[in-house]
Amino acid sequence: MLTLGIETSCDETSVAVVRDGTQVLSNVISSSKKSFERLAGVIPEEAARQQVACMTPVLDAALKEARCTWRDISLIAVTKGPGLLGSLLVGTTSARVLGATWGIPVIGVHHTLGHLSSPWLVPAGQPEAGIRFPVLTLSASGGHTDLWHRTSHLEGRLIARTRDDAAGEAFDKGASMLGLPYPGGPSIAAAAEHGDIHLYDFPMPLHEDATLDFSFSGLKTSLKYLLRDRSDARDDTRNVAASYEHALCLHLCDRLGRALRTHQDIREVHLVGGVSANLHLRTLAADVCRDRRVTLRHPSAIAYCTDNAAMIAAAGFFLRLEQPDAVDAAFRTVAALPLNDTLSQK
């Protein structure tokens, strides 16, 4: 079964073709990030305009790369929210027009469910991952940082979330303070590559807090004061970036470790979302999982970590499999979509 995925929640225009929810036949992404580097953020109206222009060529490229035509497609899955409303409407309108024209069912997918489905993706021809539930999933990006206890693709419970900034947002704001380009995650990682992670001290957020929640505003403020008060730090981008990156990743892994001690039924830990591409985070998380003797997984390619249509196609396939009534069910395109619309809370 081939699913056509469409993802336009922010500044990407992405279309993918995925077989049986796992085998990626194509995953074409056109990003307008370069247009917004100078502003260190996205202009919603301009992002949507560029997505309108990109949609048809990206769709054509995805079908060509997958070596199929629309007649081979059984399902269209599209991001219905959350995200930038104008951008989302480009995707959902395209999906509805294609579905009506081709006579193919359309299913709306929560963006976060797409990220939660990304560890199942593999390039065409590779064996499936063989993932076993229950799974503890850390989903971290520029828009959210959540911790999920999941018992199936569509059943689980949100056990923690950020109280303020998202992890990716903390990377972006930190990069801006250090004079590094947007997006902040890759630029801080590049600057930190040969830096000393222990040279500058940053606090451990919520270290004495009994919950599993995250908080990044204090780390951002600490960086601001460090650069304001220490002239040596202002000229030491490499080591400041390394210490700041380490503090962010250490906080994420501290909550992972606490969650594993609380939920001892967990068989696997998944890192998903744009921040899961960070190699230092993967290294620290691997240490946590090794100590607890659980399997650590993250998307098999960097392209599956960031916003992409392959993860939406995978999520749509699993939705159709476990909730057949969701196919062709009416759905709204919504900029702010509650997290409880992602999984059945069990």
Residue 157 shares a structural domain with residue 292 = yes
Residue 346 has pLDDT above 60, yes or no: no
pLDDT tens-digit profile of 128-153?
889 999 999 999 998 889 999 999 99
Estimate the crossing angle of helix 217-229 against helix 167-177, to 10 degrees: 10
With bands split at pLDDT 50, 70 and 90, how would you rate the model's confidence at 41? Answer: low
Residue 101 shares a structural domain with residue 203 = no
Domain tally for the chain? 2
Contact in structure between 240 and 200 (CB atoms under 8 Å): yes
The CA-based angle 258-134-81, given to 5 degrees, is: 90
Residue 161 shares a structural domain with residue 277 = yes
pLDDT tens-digit profile of 208-229?
898 999 999 999 999 999 999 9
Model-wide pTM > 0.95: no
CATH number for the domain spanning 139: value is 3.30.420.40
Q: If you average pLDDT over every residue of the chain, what do you get? A: 93
Residue 314 shares a structural domain with residue 213 = no
Residue 273 has what DSSP assignment? S
Residues whose CB falls within 8 Å of the CB of residue 154, separated by 6 or more in sequence, listed in order: 113, 318, 319, 322, 323, 343, 344
% the chain with pLDDT above 70: 95
Give the residue numbers spanning the domain of 32: 2-127+303-345
Q: List the alpha helices (DSSP H) in 230-276.
A: 231-234, 237-262
pLDDT tens-digit profile of 257-291?
999 999 999 999 999 999 999 999 999 999 999 99
Residue 224 shares a structural domain with residue 310 = no
